[in-house]
A and B are shown apart, each in its own frame.
Chain A
Amino acid sequence: MKAYTYLMAKKLKLEGPSPPKPRSQQPHWDHHAEVQAFSSRLHENFSLEVLKTAFINPCYLQAEHRRRQGLAVGAEATALALEDNVQLRERGESFTRSFLTDWCRASFPVLPSDGVESVAGHLAGSEVVTYVARNLGVDDLAMSADCPVPDDVLHSTFMAVVGALLESSGPERTGLFLRDFLGPQLIGKDLFDMWTVVNPMGLLVEELTKRNVALPEPRLIRAAGASTVLPLYFVGLYSNKKLLAQGPGETLAAAEEEAARVALRILYGYTENRRPLDFSPLQQHQQPLIQSISSN
């Protein structure tokens, strides 16, 4: 036993770790059972054929086709009776985008449209979706040419799953699914992490002129170590002699920009002490989520 383990360790050191194998090619895999388990794990009623179609990516079909041609079996035998997930993906992606935009607009009514778009774009974007998909087990079920499943393929598979859910259960349930799985990814995220604003002071001046409030006047509130290499300045923005926001910074300019950002966060209601978003389950008597948003 010891000799065996030593030999295997030596082999590992010489050749490096073995390439990852997809879970479907590892032992004890039953695709139908896994798809059923996926559906019940999410407490959703998927129609299983649509869901199975959703996991089949075009790159997998091409790779399979090439493999069968390589085996030189014959034109009839090479024809695969499987469908792509491209249409499901398109439907899922468009629905996700529109739902997330509506949900963000409803949660943060004061946020302007490019802010809403950035937040929705971040939530529907590659990073967040691939993180959620990997943790839901979509990367084990997805059929693709490479292993581990590349990010864009995983993104399209998740969107196809959303499309499948849309076909099976309708827009309300899909909306709740997206809200419950992609919504919490906003927790701990700052507004300007997702939305790049180049000139926060200019944006703040615009917002205040829209609301007919006096223009902000920057004043130095605290300073520490001004003549050292590590200074700290706290600059406050006052409109009509009342404090709007204050922010720290390494230089006076940086502190003023930070104060403008804090003022914008307070104006748009995206502070850390805001009321938490509503993730309560949909009750029968409650008005459905999408309809209430579109009526706004």
Chain B
Amino acid sequence: MSSFSRSAQQWATFARSWFLIDARQQPPGKIATMCSVRLQGKHKPIYHALSDCGDHVVVINTKHIAFSGNKWEQKVYSSHTGYPGGFKQVTAAQLHQKDPKAIVKLAVYGMLPRNLARRTMMQRLHIFPDDELPEDIRANITEELQQPREIPRRLSEYTQEEIDAFPRLWTPPEDYKMK
């Protein structure tokens, strides 16, 4: 790390990385914070708001994001067309149906600083609803980031040995009727 030549060290310090995040079964808010931190360049010790030191972030599988609670039905995305009577409100589920990329995009947009650099940072965010990436983006990727939420396993994904090894919490009485 320390014994690089000056030009090589400078090139490596100021190069733009490409991060990959898999949004499968992840809350879009947590995905968006990770994206916004890296798009601004706040994960680097050389950060400055005017330095244009942000990196690229590629988010895949946004079709499979998972809101917690009842947000699919309760979270409302509002917009106005500019014309009278043009105030539109859609629930998160409807918006996701219409455009699977919009929720992540709006979440990241809201988390970036409200300055002229925001649009440039949004251009460096690449969102894909599923696993397929174009070849050039796939070639650019540096590393994959760890998912923010640990995905819980379904009962069908546990092996019979693990189920048997789990300690029995209570023994039901003889005449207990299981539903």
Binary CB contact string for chain B from 126 to 141 against chain A (1 if under 8 A, 0 otherwise) = 0000000001100110
What is the distance, in angstroms, from A192's C-beta to the closest C-beta of chain B?
7
Binary CB contact string for chain A from 24 to 50 against chain B (1 if under 8 A, 0 otherwise) = 000000000000000000000000000
- Given the known A-B contacts A232-B15, A271-B3, A272-B2, are A224 and B8 also in contact in the complex, defined by CB atoms under 8 Å? no
- Given the known A-B contacts A225-B15, A227-B136, are A247 and B4 also in contact in the complex, defined by CB atoms under 8 Å? yes
Of all chain B residues, the one with the shortest Cβ separation from A266 is B3
Chain B: number of interface residues, binned into ranges = 20 to 34
Interface residue? B120 (CB, 8 A): no
Binary CB contact string for chain A from 219 to 263 against chain B (1 if under 8 A, 0 otherwise) = 000111111101110100000000001011110001000100110
Q: Is the CB of B142 within 8 A of A223?
A: yes
Binary CB contact string for chain B from 1 to 33 against chain A (1 if under 8 A, 0 otherwise) = 011111011011001111000000000000000
With A and B bound together, what is the CA distance between A245 and B142 in angstroms? 20
Interface residue? B143 (CB, 8 A): yes
Q: Is the CB of B6 within 8 A of A190?
A: yes
Q: B interface vs A, CB < 8 Å?
A: 2-6, 8-9, 11-12, 15-18, 56, 135-136, 139-140, 142-143
With A and B bound together, what is the CA distance between A234 and B2 in angstroms? 14
Q: Is the CB of A248 within 8 A of B142?
A: no
What is the distance, in angstroms, from B41's C-beta to the closest C-beta of chain A?
14
- Counted as pairs of residues, one from A and one from B, with CB atoms less than 8 Å apart, the total is 63
Beyond A232-B12, A249-B11, list 17 extra A-B contacts (CB 8 Å): A190-B6, A222-B142, A223-B142, A224-B15, A224-B140, A225-B15, A225-B56, A225-B140, A227-B139, A227-B140, A247-B4, A247-B8, A248-B9, A250-B11, A261-B5, A271-B3, A273-B2
Of all chain B residues, the one with the shortest Cβ separation from A191 is B3
In A180-210, which residues have CB < 8 Å from any B CB? 190, 192
Interface residue? A173 (CB, 8 A): no
Contacts of B11 in A (CB 8 A): 232, 248-250
What is the distance, in angstroms, from A96's C-beta to the closest C-beta of chain B?
28
Interface centre among A247, A266, A273 (most CB of B within 10 A): A247
In A247-296, which residues have CB < 8 Å from any B CB? 247-250, 254, 258, 261-262, 265-266, 270-273
In A157-196, which residues have CB < 8 Å from any B CB? 190, 192
With A and B bound together, what is the CA distance between A226 and B16 in angstroms? 11
Which one, A222, A265, A266, A271, contacts B143 given CB within 8 A? A222
Of all chain B residues, the one with the shortest Cβ separation from A254 is B8
Interface centre among B3, B139, B143 (most CB of A within 10 A): B3
Contacts of A261 in B (CB 8 A): 5
Contacts of A254 in B (CB 8 A): 8
